[in-house]
Structure 1
Amino acid sequence: MGRTRQPASAAASEPAAQDRRFVTALARGLELLRCFRPQDRWLAHQELVRRSGLPHATVSRLSFTLASLGYLRHRAASGEYALSPAVLALGFSVLTNFEIGRIARPLMERLAERTQSAVSLGVRHEASMVYVAHCRSTARLILGLDVGTRLPLAETAMGRALWCSATPGLRALVGEKLQAQDPARWPQRLAGLQRAEADYARRGYAGSESEWESEIAAIGVGIDIGDGREPLALTIGGPAARLQGALLHEEFAPLLVESGRAIVAAIQAGDWQD
């Protein structure tokens, strides 16, 4: 019989564990996830207690929280737990989204210079969009956003492009999150997303002109790699006073659509493995 593992707070390096910035609850939650080995499918509560070395009550609270957040699956009949795909998504997102950003960057830089605008690549997190790559042109008036920036999904071109490129199942999931986030605003947000769907079907891209911020206009396309993961979104954005009318919709939109297709082709060609 193997020895009981130390709790996360004890297993951590002593200086780190004593630092006031160290969050013991978070460390213990991660330790509970590490209890699952490659050959494990379902683990009973008692086994999680044994492997983690944590008290029964602590494991109960942590497993309930992780299941509520979607990182563990709970089989109520037997009281067992299993890792959910959300845990895998954390690692794959870190590895692959940065690689996708690396491949996309030369194409994004070219698009930024041709349009003298900001070009961004983003992924969904919960009911928001997060930048994973961002390129600025040499224009003086440009968006001051950068990698890691979080944007609302329903009101932005990036979020709408994701929505329009998503499967029906993903749309339903995102819709539930948006509704739970702000029930009163959900009907208005849904109407805006449905208009974006119609626009995307007609012209091949989504837009948000002074709807998120009055001074900002942007257009976006979905980036669907075709391997089952959620689509990303590519956008051109900048001052609404400049990005409007024929310049935005007749000159820049075709360049955006073309760049989106080029990024997908580069990734599917296996360039990210070079």
Structure 2
Amino acid sequence: MAQAMAARIDATTQVPVAQGPAEAEDGDRQFVTALARGLQVLRAFRDAAEMLGNREIAARTGLPKPTVSRLTHTLLSLGYLVHDPEGERYGLGPAVLALSSAFLRQNSFPQMVKPFLQDLATAVQAHVALGLLDGLSSVYVQLWRGQGQRIVLSSEVGFHLPLARSAIGMATLASLDEAERVALLARLRRDGADAARLDHNYRRCADEITRHGFCVGIGIWHQDINAVAAPLHAPGGRGSFAVNISGPAFLLTEEVLRRDTGPKLMETIERMRSLGIVD
């Protein structure tokens, strides 16, 4: 249980990475396979502090190890990767940070919602994350922890949660127009998602969002972590965002999520909507 000192729950081992095709689809002559493979290598890293060897990157991406070796050498030369003192393992480099900073400068929406979601994190004493659709995942573009929060999850900005197996993924799917959603659900099934489980979870969550504005995920991503999530519509349709509140299952029980956490999330969204920050 929660102690006076901070506790940490590590659930990152469950996160799939490096999604998306590395080969041209439907005979697309404009598709640059080498570029796609390089981006796959970057997407293999779960967070900025992780260090991986070529063998691990090859396992995560499905690319041949000789191909990975050439790609990591090129990305290292360009500053997108750095290596450890022994030169055997790689981490994300400063050039990646420059790209992410440029994204945040060009997209002001995460900064606009920041004070509201920080207040929400403190009110519920849990993690609050703003996620953006990225391939078959929702990637955290901002993350807030409650001031004084004692239980710390090991997720950070850049963390990916699978659409098929997370509350934020279900909320993201519910935010899409029908054609885009149908296509993405079909792609998830092709990628290996359990079709029956995916369809059941989506129907339930979509119904909850229709009725309450939010959906609840009880251990659907990790057995020890529960969450509540809701779509968040940026003005002008600038990306498919959703917001997620997550925490240990023994604290964020289903009753707490439905009675307290979910309604507080909706109050925050309504406050932002009244100010024109969200649609």
Give the TM interval when normalised to the shorter protein: 0.5 to 0.7
Aligned to 1:158: 168
Please give the alpha-carbon distance, in whole angstroms, between the structure 1 residues aligned to 2:28 and 2:117: 45
How big is the shift at 1:186? 2.3
CA distance in 2, matches of 1:265, 1:191: 33
One of 211, 217, 224 as aligned partner of 1:208: 217
**Corresponding residue pairs, total:** 187
Q: Which runs of 5+ in 1 are unaligned?
A: 1-59, 70-89, 270-274
Alignment of 1:131-210 (within 5 A): 131-137=140-146, 138-182=148-192, 185-210=194-219
* Cα shift at 1:62: 7.1
C-alpha distance in structure 2 between counterparts of 1:191 and 1:179, whole Å: 13
Residue 130 of structure 1: aligned partner = 139
CA deviation vs aligned residue, 1:33-73 (integer Å, no higher than 9, x gap): xxxxxxxxxxxxxxxxxxxxxxxxxxx9973446xx7xxxx
Aligned counterpart, 1:228: 237
> Among 112, 126, 130, which residue is 1:121 paired with?
130
**CA 1:61/1:192 → structure 2, altered by over 3 Å: closer, same or farther?**
closer
Q: Secondary structure at the match of 2:263?
A: helix
Superposition TM-score, scaled by structure 2 size: 0.60
Larger relative contact order (C-alpha < 8 A, sep ≥ 6)? Answer: 2
Report percent identity of matched pairs: 25
Gaps of 5+ in 2: 1-26, 37-98
CA separation of 1:62 and 1:150: change in aligned 2, threshold 3 A: same
Whole-angstrom CA distance in 1 between matches of 2:120 and 2:277: 20
CA RMSD, 1 decimal:
2.8
* Structure 2 contact 132–138 (Cα < 8 Å) conserved: yes
Alpha-carbon distance, 1:98 to partner = 4.8
Offset of 1:197 from its aligned partner?
Answer: 1.1
Secondary structure of the structure 2 residue equivalent to 1:211: strand
How far apart in 1 are the matches of 2:273 and 2:150? 30
